[in-house]
Chains A and B, each alone.
Chain A
Amino acid sequence: MDLTGGPFWFLMGVIFVLVAAGFHAFARDRGWVVTWWKALLAVIWYGVFCTSFFAWGTLIGENEAAAGLKLFLIGIFVSIVYGVALIRLMAHSAK
């Protein structure tokens, strides 16, 4: 069975739904008002975070592990800064 084909993307979809449901519960517990644009910003954050890992893995496969690690670290740095800003933005509108 080719794990990089359909099953992989099926798994990614499942994880995404679980993450979205988890985020929804997390936001509700904290009384965050998640408007559509805030939800969009959160989806973009998730994309940046995941892409950091995907880019690393892809570049390892291309025998460019050092470049992959650098890209991963930059991606994680951006994710941390973006994540902190996002949490403050969400918390700013808490009920």
Chain B
Amino acid sequence: MNQRRSDRVFAVGALILITVVWIVSAARTRADLMPIVRQTVPEAGHIIEDDSGLYAARTDGAETALIARIAIGSADGYGGPLRLAVAVDQSGTVVGVAIADDKETSAWMERVLGSDLLSNLTGKKYSDEFILGDDVDGVTGATYTARALAEATSAGSRQAAVAFDLPIKEPDPPRIIFGIPEIVLILLFTIGFVGHQDRFPYTKHAKWLSMITGLIVLGFVYNSPVTLAYITKLVLGYWPSWQTNLYWYFLIGGILFVFTVDNKNPYCQWCCPFGAAQDCMGAIGGAKSRTPIRFRRLLIWMQRLLTLAAVLLGVWFRNPGVASYELFGTLFELLGSSVQFVALGLVLVAALFIKRPWCNYLCPIRPVTDLIRLIRQTVKERWQKATLKTPAA
């Protein structure tokens, strides 16, 4: 089997496998929420679910009194939808919250759970704004998760307030978040697009400018490189609201757009912060591409299989965070296990001598970009074949 044919067979096989795992994992029964709901009002004698999907917490005894209503609020987190059980008393005050389901990366979630965020959400009124950095304190390094928790509390408390017949003000439309990361990303894609053109004389300078900017802004300041979690999120259909996740849409959309138009990768070689970190190490150590030709295909296939396995895991557990094995957070946020730090040290030291060892042998983004390129090429070939066969009018 020649190389192109084996690539196509693998791509089709991988897509079928992902689809099968997607369907099987979606058909699994949903978890029982009662133990989580109980955590929000521990003093309740009994809790009953009503027809509307809300829970009523009551005291025990001859005269049972309603303590609180509990609703499941939902919001978009970093890895997908986050669901929170929110208990609200008759005055509309949040009396307890408990996480029912989340798709967050464990390191970010641990950071949030180690903060005062959940206890600060308790005591707020259903009519509050729940805006991070405004009436809710954020958590450094876990902004998406913290924002999702605040929004889920708002959504859940409003649902419960409706059941208490409390007056509900129409919520303000979500604020569009467009800031420095989005602007920088657009600029970097523009530099990448222009720099790719054959007539552009300063490609090398533009590349380094783009790389260093990506390393500092997308890496160390905002820690927002493309991760496998983004791709798995796409596969699982967790499309976050565009108003609060413009960066995500620009990143995925920009890569797909430039690939479609130009057949060039605008991200990996141009603004990937982790790639830039390896390039900096390579510049210090004089790194070269050292892959032996006879192992080249083997290493590419190992990288593809590793990525496929990670995607399948993420889809199976319906949690994009599970699938991510990248070391980006370890470098840019200094978060991770001892194993991750050791791996990061090995990768960075190897990058002194070998050109981009992570990108060439381990990064899950490369197989994904290979797949996009293959699909583009196949569609283009089929299209050309079809148009050639069509007789001229």
Seen from chain A, the residues whose Cβ lies within 8 Å of a Cβ on chain B are: 73, 77, 80-81, 84-85, 88
**Bound form: Cα–Cα A84–B281 in Å:** 10
Complex contact B285–A88 (CB within 8 A): yes
**In the complex, what residues of A have CB within 8 A of residue B349's CB?**
77, 80-81
**Bound form: Cα–Cα A73–B343 in Å:** 12
Complex contact A85–B284 (CB within 8 A): yes
The prevalent SS among residues of B at the interface is helix
**In the complex, what residues of B have CB within 8 A of residue A85's CB?**
284-285
Closest to A80 in B: B349
The digit string for B276-300, where 1 denotes a CB below 8 A from any CB of A, is: 0000010011100000000000000
Complex contact A81–B286 (CB within 8 A): no
**Bound form: Cα–Cα A85–B349 in Å:** 12
Seen from chain B, the residues whose Cβ lies within 8 Å of a Cβ on chain A are: 281, 284-286, 341, 345, 348-349, 352
**Bound form: Cα–Cα A30–B167 in Å:** 83
Beyond A80-B352, A81-B281, whether A88 also contacts B286 by CB under 8 A is yes
With both chains docked as a complex, state the minimum distance between the C-beta of B261 and any C-beta of chain A, in angstroms. Answer: 39
Beyond A81-B281, A81-B352, whether A73 also contacts B286 by CB under 8 A is no
Closest to A88 in B: B286
Complex contact B348–A84 (CB within 8 A): no
With both chains docked as a complex, state the minimum distance between the C-beta of B59 and any C-beta of chain A, in angstroms. Answer: 48
Closest to B345 in A: A77
**In the complex, what residues of B have CB within 8 A of residue A88's CB?**
284-286
**In the complex, what residues of B have CB within 8 A of residue A81's CB?**
281, 284-285, 348-349, 352
**In the complex, what residues of B have CB within 8 A of residue A84's CB?**
284-285, 352
**In the complex, what residues of A have CB within 8 A of residue B284's CB?**
81, 84-85, 88
**In the complex, what residues of A have CB within 8 A of residue B345's CB?**
73, 77
**In the complex, what residues of A have CB within 8 A of residue B285's CB?**
81, 84-85, 88
